[in-house]
């Protein structure tokens, strides 16, 4: 019997100054934060899910592993003229759904990447990236790369879908730590977008553009202090934080305890702070969980930037 196991990490989309254009991949230090998928030719073929957050997944044709595998199989037939075989999938769901940590992207990437490994890489990484964004778009209502790109490729990715190569890696600072807190309330991408204004005034747009450009320049220039100074958002976050009880209280507490930044991960409700060292990040993540926690599946953890992305285990 042939078996492979792949891992696709959690991600932070809308990375503070980069709404829909910056995404970061997370390497957690104290819990598994990402989906693990086992693919085998054990019969009978089928799909099953395990793990803390498996209970929220559909087990019918709406399940992302099933729909993504069907998508891959169609490409295998149409492009490579190769008939797929019946396989068995077991998903270990370690990411909460609707968390702002790229849960759907993780399942999509794990399936596409895993099947590509199974069939000995018939498709390029660029093809997998495009298909991941297309499937994610059908799930969330709009095509975007800011979760699937860092999940597949790792690192901090700048997105420009007008380019033939839509993702560019941005050199971040590997000695910084992320304090992560999931309060266990669910916010869908669609609902988080619905709360945003239809237009943004010219001054705010110029400010957002300037911060994003300055942040990227500072990363390439290895100017950490200036990059951190520019990691702030006065346009999107003030709208979305209304969906998270006690967000302002948590931000004040995080900064009082050494956090350099504080923001939503993706569309929330997960919040994260960037800290200078691991112990500070650990203290901050625990303190903000005490403020934000709402459900039995709430958690906090510490992470660094994951430069690998999806991989075989």
Regarding whether 181 and 165 lie in a shared domain, the answer is no
Q: Are residues 199 and 287 in the same domain?
A: yes
Per-residue model confidence (pLDDT) at position 141: 58
Predicted local confidence at residue 32, as pLDDT: 94
Q: Among the three residues 170, 192, 222, which one is the final residue of a domain in this structure?
A: 170
Report the CATH number at residue 41: 3.30.230.10
The answer to whether 89 and 18 are in contact (CB under 8 A) is no
**166 & 181 share domain:** no
Give the total number of structural domains in the chain.
Answer: 2
Same domain, 145 and 195: no
219 domain-assigned? yes
Q: Are residues 13 and 137 in the same domain?
A: yes
Q: What pLDDT score was predicted for residue 198?
A: 81
Look up the pTM and report it: 0.94
Angle 64-80/125-140 helices, nearest 10 degrees? 140
Above 80 in pLDDT, residue 151?
yes
Per-residue pLDDT tens over the stretch 226-238 = 999 999 999 989 9
Query: Per-residue confidence at 137, pLDDT binned at 50, 70, 90?
Result: confident
Confirm whether 72 is domain-assigned: yes
Question: Are 160 and 277 found together in one domain?
Answer: no
Q: Give 194-263 as a DSSP string.
A: HTS-S---HHHHHHHHHHHHHHHHHHHTT-HHHHHHT---SSSHHHHGGGSTTHHHHHHHHHHTT-SEEE
* pLDDT of 140 strictly over 60: no
8 A C-beta contact, residue 133 and residue 145: yes
Residue 312 lies in a domain: no
Better-scored residue on pLDDT, 98 or 118: 118
- Do 188 and 105 belong together in one domain? no
Residues 90 and 11 in one domain: yes
Could you tell me if 27 and 131 lie in one domain? yes
Give domain status of residue 313, yes or no: no
How many residues are present in the chain?
313
Is position 122 within any domain? yes
Same domain, 252 and 126: no
Are the CB atoms for 2 and 310 separated by under 8 Å?
no
Domain that residue 78 falls in = 3-170
């Amino acid at each position: 019997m042939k078996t492979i196991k792949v891992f696709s990490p959690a991600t932070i989309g809308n990375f503070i100054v980069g709404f829909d254009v910056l995404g970061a991949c997370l390497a957690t230090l104290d819990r598994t934060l990402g989906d693990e998928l086992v693919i085998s030719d054990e019969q009978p073929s089928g799909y099953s899910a395990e793990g803390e957050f498996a209970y929220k997944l559909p087990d019918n044709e709406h399940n992302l592993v099933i729909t993504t595998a069907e998508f891959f199989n169609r490409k295998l037939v149409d492009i490579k003229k190769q008939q797929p075989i019946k396989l068995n999938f077991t998903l270990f769901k370690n990411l909460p759904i609707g968390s702002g940590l790229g849960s759907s992207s993780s399942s999509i990437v794990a399936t596409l990447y895993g099947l590509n490994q199974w069939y000995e890489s018939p498709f390029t990484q660029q093809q997998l990236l495009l298909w991941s964004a297309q499937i994610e778009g059908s799930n969330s209502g709009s095509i975007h790369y800011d979760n699937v790109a860092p999940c597949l490729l790792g690192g901090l990715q700048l997105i420009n879908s007008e380019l033939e190569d839509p993702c560019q890696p941005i050199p971040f600072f590997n000695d910084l730590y992320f304090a992560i807190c999931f309060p266990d309330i669910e916010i869908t991408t669609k609902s988080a977008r619905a709360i945003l204004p239809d237009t943004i005034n010219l001054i705010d747009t110029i400010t957002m553009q300037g911060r994003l450009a300055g942040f990227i320049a500072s990363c390439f220039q290895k100017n950490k202090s200036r990059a951190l100074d520019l990691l702030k958002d006065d346009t999107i976050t003030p709208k979305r934080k209304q969906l998270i009880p006690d967000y302002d209280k948590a931000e004040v507490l995080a900064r009082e305890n050494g956090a350099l930044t504080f923001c939503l991960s993706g569309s929330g409700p997960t919040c994260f702070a960037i800290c200078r060292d691991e112990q500070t990040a650990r203290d901050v993540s625990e303190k903000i969980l005490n403020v934000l926690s709402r459900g039995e599946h709430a958690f906090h953890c510490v992470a660094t930037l994951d430069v690998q992305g999806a991989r075989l285990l």
